[in-house]
């Protein structure tokens, strides 16, 4: 963790938050000195100066009010940690570090996968969200007694379910979408993908990276020949 990251993480800890507007960083004198920015620096200028200091503790996101700095958690984790017992969707999206369209898309996927519970006000005008405490098929904790092989097979099955849910019967499903949907640790996701590839159950496709954003590319997959793969097709029925 760089010195700048350490200071920002401390600031977030102090405020009990997972994210803050980028502009807020200019309130901290030591940070201003380290980043060589002025108090009135705008967000793009702060981003430019901050980027070289980022390794893996924080990240910069584009959200409701422009640029934010967030802890390096997945978007799903950010949503879950921001929800109370009964949070209206309208409140969640305000000042959230993920843009509204993407946020709504992610929330829908989380509802479909059983991670979130949804309820409505009597008039139906307000949508409330809360984290679903009952473990779902996808985030259910693994039994300690389950053998590694069974776990791996379960993961393959879960990946197929995610593929079907996102693809809706179509092939060539984008890997970053499955990754976001499953929200597994990187190693677990990649291992499952590699196993399925080896079993010839799926085919990895390079596709055209120019249709994805940098973040989406980073959430895709690089194979052992250092080739970026952006979609998969399920081959074994």
* Residue among 33 and 208 whose Cβ is closer to other proteins: 208
Provide the token pair at 8.
């920002």
Tell me if 30 contacts other proteins by CB under 8 A.
no
Tell me if 121 contacts other proteins by CB under 8 A.
no
Question: In which element (H, E) is residue 109 found?
Answer: helix 100-112
Tell me if 170 contacts other proteins by CB under 8 A.
yes
Tell me if 31 contacts other proteins by CB under 8 A.
no
Q: Given the rule CB under 8 A, which of 24-32, 84-92, 151-159, 169-177 is the region that contacts other proteins?
A: 169-177
Tell me if 55 contacts other proteins by CB under 8 A.
yes
DSSP one-letter string for 11-60: HHHHHT-SEEEGGGGGG-HHHHHHHT--TT--HHHHHHHHGGG-SSSEEE
Residue 196 Cα to chain centre, angstroms: 23
Rounded Cα distance, 158 and 175, in Å: 14
CB 202, min distance to other proteins, A: 8
Q: What is the CA radius of gyration of the chain?
A: 20
Please list every residue from 173 through 202 that binds other proteins, using CB under 8 A: 173-174, 197-198, 200, 202
* Whether the Cβ atoms of residue 119 and residue 96 lie closer than 8 Å to each other: no
CB 32, min distance to other proteins, A: 16
Q: Are strands 231-234 and 228-229 parallel, antiparallel or unpaired?
A: unpaired
* Residue among 38 and 218 whose Cβ is closer to other proteins: 218
Q: Given the rule CB under 8 A, which of 94-102, 105-113, 131-139, 206-214 is the region that contacts other proteins?
A: 206-214
The residue among 53, 105, 52, 106 whose CA lies nearest residue 79 is: 106
Tell me if 203 contacts other proteins by CB under 8 A.
yes
The residue among 53, 58, 1, 8 whose CA lies nearest residue 30 is: 8
Tell me if 33 contacts other proteins by CB under 8 A.
no
Q: Given the rule CB under 8 A, which of 21-29, 44-52, 118-126, 137-145 is the region that contacts other proteins?
A: 44-52
Tell me if 143 contacts other proteins by CB under 8 A.
no
Residues that bind other proteins (CB under 8 A): 48-49, 51-52, 55-56, 167, 170-174, 197-198, 200, 202-214, 216-218, 222, 224-226, 228, 230-231, 233, 235
């Amino acid at each position: 963790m760089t010195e700048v990251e350490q200071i920002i993480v401390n600031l977030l800890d102090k405020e009990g938050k997972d994210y803050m507007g980028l502009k807020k960083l200019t309130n901290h004198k030591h940070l201003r000195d380290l980043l060589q920015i002025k108090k009135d620096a705008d967000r793009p200028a702060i981003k430019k100066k901050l980027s070289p200091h980022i390794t893996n503790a924080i990240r910069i996101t584009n959200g409701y009010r422009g640029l934010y700095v967030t802890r390096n958690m997945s978007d799903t984790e950010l949503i879950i940690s921001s929800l109370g017992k009964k949070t209206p969707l309208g409140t969640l999206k305000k000042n959230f570090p993920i843009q509204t369209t993407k946020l709504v898309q992610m929330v829908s996927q989380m509802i479909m996968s059983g991670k979130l519970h949804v309820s409505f006000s009597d008039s139906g005008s307000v949508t409330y969200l809360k984290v679903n405490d009952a473990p779902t098929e996808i985030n259910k904790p693994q039994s300690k007694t389950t053998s590694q092989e069974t776990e791996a097979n379960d993961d393959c099955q879960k990946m197929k379910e995610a593929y079907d849910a996102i693809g809706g019967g179509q092939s060539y499903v984008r890997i970053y979408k499955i990754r976001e949907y499953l929200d597994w640790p990187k190693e677990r996701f990649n291992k499952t993908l590699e196993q399925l590839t080896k079993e010839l159950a799926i085919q990895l496709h390079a596709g055209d990276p120019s249709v994805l954003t940098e973040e989406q590319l980073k959430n895709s997959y690089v194979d052992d020949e250092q080739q970026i793969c952006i979609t998969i097709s399920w081959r074994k029925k």
